[in-house]
Structure 1
C-alpha cells in the first residue's frame, strides 16, 4: 500500500547439513510469521542430499538463495569440519556481493558456528552480526568462554584427562569432551580459538535451547562478566528454542503406513542423523540387539564407513534397495526373522513425521542436538549413541541432567555389544527403570511447547532479537 513502511529485513547464512538447515529454516520462518520481519536464507549446500534438496524446494515465506562453493580442491579424506569451513570461506565473496546489492540493506546477518568469520562482513556492511548456535547452552559455554580458560586447565583436561571446569556450569568429563580436545592437534586448537574469539565479536548469540531446559548454564552465561572472565567480551545470549521442524500429517510414505498399523507407543526408531555411520561389526551387533529386544523397530541404515563410526555427511539421502542391505551387511536371515515387527529403511527416513507418530515410544540416536530436540518436543525417550563432534556432551546432558535418556556403553574395541543394546532398548520401551524417563520427557515436551508460544520465554527472547534488529535498522537508515 502507498506510504506503508517496509519491513525490517534480516539475512541468515547456514552451512551444509540438516542439523543446521532445519533450525535455521525454522528461525527464519518464525521471524517472518511471528515477528513481522523479512528474511533471506543463504544456504551453502552440498547438492548431494536428497533430504536437503526436498526441504529447500518446499514453498516458503523465506527467500532462499544458494551460494556457490567448490569441493574440487579439497582432500576428500580431510576432517568434515575442515571441508565445511573451506566451503563456507569460498562462499563469502558471493555472500558479500549478494548482500551489498540489496537495497535497503538487511539490518542483521545471522550465521551458524561455521560462519563466524562472516561477522566481519556484516559489520563492514553496516549490519548487526548475530550467531545462531544450533547446540545446547552447555556446549555454547565451552565455546564462548574458551578465550578465558587458562592454558594449564586445558592441558590438564587434554593430557591428564581432568574435568574441564566451567564456573557456574557442570564440568566436562574427558570421556564426554568435544573432538577439539580429543584430537590434541595444534591446528585444531588454533581454529577453535579463532572461532571462540569471533563469537565474542557478535552483537548477540541465539541458542537453540530454552530457559527451563538449561537454567543453570544459561544463568552462568548471563553472569559471565561477574565471574571473572576478563578475556571474554560480554555478548547478550538469547535462548530461543526449541526450534525444530514439525511433522507433516499429510505426508505419505511406506514407513508411515507401516507405523499406522502398529499399536500406540510400541516402536523404537533407530537413526544416526544425516551423517552418522557405523562399522560393519557394529551394524551386526545392532541388528542382533534389536532382534533380541523383541521390540518393534524402524531402522534407518547406511553402509559402513571403514572400521569405525564416522560421518557420511556428503552422501546422506542417497538410497538403494532393502535387499542390498540384507545381503551385504545385516545378519543372515535378519530381515525374514523380523519382518513382522521391524522395518529397515535405506539411507533416510522422514524423521519429524516418525517421531511425532503415535506408535513411536523410543529413539536410538546419535545425539545430534537437532535430533535430540525433535525427540523431546515429541515426548519420545532416548537411547543415546554419540558418534562425533559434541554429541558425547549432548548424551551426558540428556541422561544425567535432563533425565530423558539412557546411555549405551561400548566394550573392548569400542563396539557396543548386542546384550547392551537389548538391555537399554528394553529399558526405554517397557522396563520399570524407564518409567521416570518416559514421564520426564513428556514434561519437557510441554515445557518446550510453552517456551515457543506467544508469551513464552523463548518467544519473548526472539521478540527481543527482532526488536533490536528493527531499532538498529531505523537508526541506521535515519528513521529516528
Structure 2
C-alpha cells in the first residue's frame, strides 16, 4: 500500500526555504511518509538557495520540485518591500501549485504552507486533500502576535511605534516598540496589510505547526491552546514540534576554519555571524571590530561586505576586509579569524571551542545555537528578530543584548567588548547564569525529541489527526 503523502510549499528566500526543507526531512524520517516539497524560486534566488535544495535532494528523504515564480511587477508598487513581494508572489502561484498537485501520481493527504503562503490553502480544498496546515518556523510568541494582530488593528489607534505602554497579548508577554515586527512599523504600508491578512488566514487552517517546544515556551503555548481570548482568536490546534534545525553535514578536508578551531581551548571562541543578509554600515563594522579586539577574547567572524561597499566592483575578499580598522587583521592574528565566504554554521556551533554566538537572532540561527548549548549576544537587525532578542534575554535567559537596537544607531566598541566578555569570561556571575541556562535549554531540546518527548508526541498527535499514521 502507498505511504501517506504530505505536500509542503516553501516561499522564496533562504530563510523560508531551509526551515521547510528541514520540516520535510523530519516528517519523512520520523513518520515514514512520502513528502513532496514545492519550492517557489524567484528571479533573485541565490546560489546558496540552489545549493540548499541540491543538498536536501541528495538526502533522498523528500521529492523536491522547483516552481518558477510568476512575475508580480504589475501587482505590486515599484517600491514594494520584500515581504509584500513574497506574499503577493505566493498568492499568484495558486494556479501553478494546483496544476503541480494535479499532475502528481499520488494525491497528497495534507498540505502545509509557511506563513507567507497562507493564500495558497484553498488549493488543498480544490483538489480534495483532507487537511491544510500552516508551519510557523518561528516561535510561539511570534504566532501569538500574528493571530492577534487583527484585534490590535481594531483596538489601537495610530502607529504602534508611538504607543508608550506595551500592547497586551492575552496570556503572553506584551509587545512594545522594541519588539515590533518590521511589518508592523508602518500601518500605511502594504506589507502591514499583507501581514494582517496572514493573521486572519491562519485560523482558517486546520492547525498550526510551530518550531518551538513545550519546555521552552509552555506559558505562551498554553495561552494559544487554552480557553482564553487568544485561543478564541487562533481557533485551531497548535502543535509544538521543535526544535527542527539543520543537522551536521560532512566537512571537507582540509578546512581552514576547523583547523583553526581545533587549536583553540574549549569554549573560548566567540562566533560572530549576522546571517546571509546581515550587512552593517562601515562605521558599525569598524566599531564591532574594535570591540572584538578590546574584549581580549578569541573570535571567529563571518564578515559580510559593509553596506556602503555593496555593489562596488572589486575582489570580494578585498572589499569585505577593507571595511576593517587599519592593522586589525595583523593585531588579532592568532586570537581571531575573519572569514569572508560562506561558513558551515551548524558545524561551527557544534565545535567544542565555541563559547558564544553574536547573532542577528534569526530563529533558525537561534535554534542552532540553543540546541548546542551556546549562549548568545543578540544583535537583531530586521523582520521579527527584535522579538527574538527580547524572548532570549527576558524570558528564556540565554542571552545579553545591546543597550539600544542596532538598527537605531551605532553600537560602540566599549559596549561590544563588555557584552562579549560577559558571555565569555568565566568569572562574570551573570555570564555564568546565562551559560548554565543555555546548557539547560540544550538538554530540554534533546528531551523534547526523545521517544515520548513533548515534540515527538505532538508530531504523532498531529499525524494521527490528519491520517498520516494509524492511531
The two structures share one fold, judged by TM-score above 0.5: yes
Q: Give 3-state SS (helix, strand or coil) of 1:164's partner.
A: coil
User: How has the CA–CA distance of structure 1 residues 337 and 322 changed in structure 2, closer, same or farther, with 3 Å as cutoff?
Assistant: farther
The aligned residue for residue 422 of structure 1 is 417
The aligned residue for residue 7 of structure 1 is 3
Q: Is the 8 A contact 1:363 1:382 kept in 2?
A: yes
Q: Distance in 1 between matches of 2:153 and 2:39?
A: 36
The aligned residue for residue 238 of structure 1 is 239
Which deviates more, 236-245 or 46-55? 46-55
User: How has the CA–CA distance of structure 1 residues 96 and 112 changed in structure 2, closer, same or farther, with 3 Å as cutoff?
Assistant: same
Matches within 5 A, 1:70-469: 70=70, 73=73, 78-127=80-129, 128-149=131-152, 151-153=154-156, 155=158, 157-223=160-226, 226-228=227-229, 232=233, 234-248=235-249, 250-252=251-253, 253-305=255-307, 321-326=316-321, 328-410=322-404, 414-430=409-425, 431-469=428-466
User: How has the CA–CA distance of structure 1 residues 323 and 339 changed in structure 2, closer, same or farther, with 3 Å as cutoff?
Assistant: farther
What do the CA deviations read for 1:197-231 (whole angstroms, capped 9, x no partner)?
Answer: 110111110000000000110000001xx324597
What do the CA deviations read for 1:453-477 (whole angstroms, capped 9, x no partner)?
Answer: 2211001111122222326x99xxx
TM-score by length of 2: 0.91
Q: Give 3-state SS (helix, strand or coil) of 2:173's partner.
A: coil
Q: Which has the higher contact order (CA 8 A, sep 6+)?
A: 1
Q: Is the 8 A contact 1:411 1:417 kept in 2?
A: no
Q: Give 3-state SS (helix, strand or coil) of 1:165's partner.
A: coil
Once the two structures are TM-superposed, the CA of residue 189 in structure 1 deviates from its matched residue by: 3.4
What do the CA deviations read for 1:425-450 (whole angstroms, capped 9, x no partner)?
Answer: 01001133200100100110010011
Unaligned runs of 5+ in 2: none
What do the CA deviations read for 1:335-373 (whole angstroms, capped 9, x no partner)?
Answer: 111121111112521111111111101000011111111
Q: Is the 8 A contact 2:90 2:120 kept in 1?
A: no
Q: Distance in 2 between matches of 1:320 and 1:20?
A: 30
Q: Distance in 1 between matches of 2:93 and 2:202?
A: 20
Which deviates more, 89-98 or 57-66? 89-98
Q: Distance in 1 between matches of 2:229 and 2:267?
A: 48
Q: Is the 8 A contact 1:301 1:344 kept in 2?
A: yes
Once the two structures are TM-superposed, the CA of residue 282 in structure 1 deviates from its matched residue by: 0.7
Q: Distance in 1 between matches of 2:179 and 2:201?
A: 25
Q: Is the 8 A contact 2:305 2:319 kept in 1?
A: no
Q: Is the 8 A contact 1:31 1:466 kept in 2?
A: no
Q: Give 3-state SS (helix, strand or coil) of 1:244's partner.
A: coil
Q: Distance in 1 between matches of 2:464 and 2:260?
A: 46
Once the two structures are TM-superposed, the CA of residue 78 in structure 1 deviates from its matched residue by: 3.5
Q: Distance in 1 between matches of 2:77 and 2:279?
A: 20
Q: Distance in 1 between matches of 2:418 and 2:88?
A: 42
Once the two structures are TM-superposed, the CA of residue 140 in structure 1 deviates from its matched residue by: 0.4
Q: Is the 8 A contact 1:320 1:346 kept in 2?
A: no
What do the CA deviations read for 1:303-361 (whole angstroms, capped 9, x no partner)?
Answer: 22359xxxx9xx9xxx96533322x3111111111121111112521111111111101
Q: Give 3-state SS (helix, strand or coil) of 1:461's partner.
A: helix
Once the two structures are TM-superposed, the CA of residue 291 in structure 1 deviates from its matched residue by: 0.8
Q: Give 3-state SS (helix, strand or coil) of 2:397's partner.
A: coil
Aligned residues: 459
User: How has the CA–CA distance of structure 1 residues 447 and 320 changed in structure 2, closer, same or farther, with 3 Å as cutoff?
Assistant: farther
Q: Distance in 2 between matches of 1:187 and 1:161?
A: 24
Which deviates more, 86-95 or 268-277? 86-95
Once the two structures are TM-superposed, the CA of residue 24 in structure 1 deviates from its matched residue by: 1.6
Q: Is the 8 A contact 1:130 1:206 kept in 2?
A: yes
Q: Distance in 2 between matches of 1:339 and 1:89?
A: 50
TM-score by length of 1: 0.89
User: How has the CA–CA distance of structure 1 residues 446 and 438 changed in structure 2, closer, same or farther, with 3 Å as cutoff?
Assistant: same
Q: Give 3-state SS (helix, strand or coil) of 1:185's partner.
A: coil
Q: Is the 8 A contact 2:448 2:456 kept in 1?
A: yes
Q: Distance in 2 between matches of 1:320 and 1:293?
A: 30
User: How has the CA–CA distance of structure 1 residues 162 and 332 changed in structure 2, closer, same or farther, with 3 Å as cutoff?
Assistant: same
